[in-house]
Amino acid sequence: MIGLRARAKLTWYLEITGLREDGLHDLRSEMLTIDLADTLVVDETADYVRVFNPFTALVPEDGANIVARALRLVERTAGVTIEKSIPVGGGLGGGSADAAAILRWAGGVSAEQALTLGGDVPFCQLGGRALVEGAGERLTALAFEVRPLTLIQPGFGVDTADCYRAYDELRAGGWIPTGRNHLEVPACTVEPRLRATIEWLRSELGPGVQLAGSGSTLFVEGLVEGRAAGEPRHWDVQGPEGTLRFHETTTTPAEA
């Protein structure tokens, strides 16, 4: 048995610069890995994918699972047990991180090959901190910086594909994206509860509350004031649309 750590990715900022002929979006983004991870246990003598998932969204355990697709990409067979800690539908690249862990275990593939599994997989395979461009396959490694963060996780997710469809529809209607994350307005269009949550958090914590990728996870740079020393790094707050889980974390360097 081999244990693998699949670290979540955080999208620090996200600009959409165009639409490609293949239907994918051109991006310019800074991404970082953080100290929140799924755990994968690989049995090289078996052939299965099992998921222990504490979240409400279902993760497939058949050939459609991104880990099964990653195994096919590297032409390997293994039994893989995934213990999920990264929220599903939270914009933290949990599935991409799991696939990237398999790619690294198998010796790695090119960014272009990793892109066939998903736009976040090339960065998740690299890890650390990077400028991400194109559809996710153009990576420029950046110097690692320690950045304490507080994640804020609603009890609902946002489907990434729906978010990009909403982006295209809004752009077709004349809307022009602005701000640090060009997907914030589309994500709030897909999931109105997210808009109410962001507005409430910004009224409570200030304008520094940001959406991570397509959401639904939000984050604040630094640690939230008011929590006494020694209290748990995870705590719940009742928001306007249900319970919000606060989680202190930090950025992490690329895997050695």
Residue by residue, DSSP assigns 77-141 as: --EEEEE--SPTTSSS-HHHHHHHHHHHHTT---HHHHHTT-TTHHHHHH-SEEEEEETTTEEEE
Domains and CATH numbers, the chain: 2-141 (3.30.230.10), 148-252 (3.30.70)
pLDDT for 127 equals: 97
Question: What gap in Å lies between CA 122 and CA 118, rounded to an integer?
Answer: 8
pLDDT category at 52 given cuts 50, 70, 90 is: confident
- pLDDT the model gives residue 228: 52
pLDDT the model gives residue 226: 57
> 118-155, pLDDT tens digit by residue?
999 999 999 999 999 999 999 999 999 999 999 999 99
For residue 29, report the phi and psi dihedrals to the nearest 5 degrees: -150, 155
pLDDT tens-digit readout, 229-252: 555 688 899 999 999 999 999 999
pLDDT for residue 12 is more than 60: yes
Is the bond preceding 110 in cis, omega lying within 30 degrees of 0? no
What average pLDDT does range 2-24 have in this prediction? 94
Mean pLDDT of the residues in the chain:
92
**pLDDT for the residue 5:** 96
Yes or no: say if 247 and 153 are a contact pair by the CB < 8 Å rule: yes
Q: Compute and round to an integer the Cα radius of gyration of the chain.
A: 18
pLDDT per position as a tens digit, 177-233:
999 999 999 999 999 999 999 999 999 999 999 999 998 999 999 988 655 555 568
| 1 contacts: CB under 8 Å, gap ≥ 6 | 41, 42, 43
**Which of 129, 131, 142, 96 minimizes the C-alpha distance to 115?**
96
Rounded to the nearest angstrom, the gap between the alpha carbon of residue 149 and the centroid of all alpha carbons in its chain is 15
Matching residue, tokens 């090339």? 122
| Number of neighbouring beta carbons within 10 Å of residue 108 | 14
Dist CA 256 CA 127 (whole Å): 10
Q: Tell me if 123 sits within 8 A of 92, measured CB to CB.
A: no
Residues labelled as active-site residues: 9, 120
